[in-house]
Amino acid sequence: MLANEMENSMPDNDLDAQAERMLEAAMGGLTPHQLLMQTSQADAANADERAAAIAKNRERAQRLLAALEKSQG
């Protein structure tokens, strides 16, 4: 059945109920507030990981630059 035909054959209430069930399943049983908090905490953890990776890369670049300067110098 085509999507357009499916929409025409289902009452709006059925579509709303189906959308609500899909949303609840995607949220994994969490409330919107819990999901927002979980997402925010994950983003904060990722920010810490990114900052650590940037610092590590900066240190590597400085060591490489020092080694190059020493070898040319």
Query: Which tens digits make up the pLDDT trace of 51-72?
Result: 999 999 999 999 999 999 999 9
For residue 24, what pLDDT is reported?
Answer: 86
CB atoms within 10 A of CB 35: 14
For residue 13, what pLDDT is reported?
Answer: 86
Q: Output the pTM of the full model.
A: 0.45
pLDDT digits (tens, 9 = 90+) for 11-32: 788 999 999 899 888 888 889 9
For residue 6, what pLDDT is reported?
Answer: 54
Rounded Cα gap, residues 54 and 70, in angstroms: 24
The one-letter code for the residue type at 11 is: P
